[in-house]
Amino acid sequence: MLKTQLSVKEIYDRYIKKLNDKKNAVRYSDRSWFHSSSAGLCVRKHFYSSVSQDKGAPIKDDTMRLFRLGDVVHEDIQNAVRDYADSHALPILIEKELYLDDYNVRGFIDLALLDRNTLYDIKTCNSWKWTKMFGRGSNGMPDLHQQLQLATYGIWVKEEYDIQDLKLSMVYYNKNTSAIREVELMSDEMMAEAELYWEKVNDMLEPVHMGEVSDLDDRGIDMENHFITDMPNVGQVIFEIPPVSLGTSPVQEWECNYCQFSDICGGIKNAK
């Protein structure tokens, strides 16, 4: 029987999905770490992603294509920097994996040019976002959560390579116009902010009880907003699910519109 022919769009969508599945299998098989890319964002999302490890809704095809476009730009810029570094014998980091054990955070650095003590994060954006950041009347600074993401990498690089004057620089690529602009952050201040953020995440997602659930009766803990799991050598471990509350879960209202856990969480709109 003749199989239905796939359109080019369908072939491309399947290809992207295959790439994405491969990336997830390599990078995210251990989900217990918090993701550095979610720095500065919803604490409850860290709970679903890394504590209860819920599956979340599948990412839509058009969103996958947007992510892929971002990946393609990333790879091209990284290849260009690798080529430049090779021809000048410069030390660089590209897609370097990092672990911040103290904060249970894992991530991958886009780019670092170590001869100039500078760590870069590449971001693709559309013209609306570009104008919001760099247009008339704007302050020319990236969103706080993007700064905290790069600062999280900075904490690791600073310590790992013993760099005192580490510079943090965001590289923006406008997908509509191909314009590129670098923005240098206030490194030390942002790294201090990132440390505070990850301390808060760890505090809020610390187990509230280790041992048998029946032990909790005496403490009068309402189990409705709790999550119980079994851990090897520990037994039952109980976590409190952070409540939906603007400022921490989510940090900003728009996060719920793009969250893969909104179906199980309910989000800020349903909490009002």
Rounded to a whole number of angstroms, the distance between the first and last alpha carbons of the chain is 55
Binding flag, residue 265, ligand SF4 (CB under 6 A): yes
Residue 205 CB, shortest distance to ligand SF4, in Å, is 12
Nearer to ligand SF4, 111 or 201 (CB): 201
Residue 42 touching ligand SF4 (CB under 6 A): yes
Cα 193–196–200 angle (5° rounding)?
140
**Does residue 234 sit in helix, strand or coil?**
coil
Indicate whether 201 belongs to the interface with ligand SF4 (CB under 6 A).
no
66 vs 259: CA distance, rounded Å:
16
Instruction: State the residue for tokens 């990336």.
Output: 23
Which range touches ligand SF4 (CB under 6 A), out of 29-37, 40-48, 151-159, 165-173? 40-48
In the numeric block, the tokens 């894992």 are attached to 106
Question: What dihedral do alpha carbons 26, 91, 153, 110 form, nearest 10°?
Answer: -50
At closest approach, how far in Å is the CB of 272 from ligand SF4?
12
CA dihedral 174, 36, 149, 193 (to 10 degrees): 170
DSSP 133-190: HHSTT------HHHHHHHHHHHHHHHHHTT-SS-EEEEEEEETTT--EEEEE--HHHH
Which of the stretches 32-40, 41-49, 150-158, 195-203 binds ligand SF4 when contact is defined by CB under 6 A? 41-49
Distance CA 165, CA 162 (A): 9
In the complex, what is the shortest distance from the CB of residue 243 to ligand SF4, in angstroms, rounded to a whole number?
9
Least distance CB 117 / ligand SF4 (angstroms): 35
Asked if 85 is part of the footprint of ligand SF4 (rule: CB under 6 A), the reply reads no
Strands 167-174 and 118-125: parallel
User: Nearest approach, Cβ of 255 to ligand SF4 (angstroms)?
Assistant: 4
Compute the least distance from the CB of residue 105 to ligand SF4, in Å.
18
Q: What x/- string results for residues 245 through 264 when contact with ligand SF4 is judged by CB under 6 A?
A: ----xx----xx--x-xx--
Q: Determine, following the binding rule CB under 6 A, whether residue 44 of this chain makes contact with ligand SF4.
A: yes
Q: Which of residues 45, 74, 123, 158 is near ligand SF4 by CB under 6 A?
A: 45
Q: What are the residues binding ligand SF4 (CB under 6 A)?
A: 42, 44-45, 48, 244, 249-250, 255-256, 259, 261-262, 265, 267-268
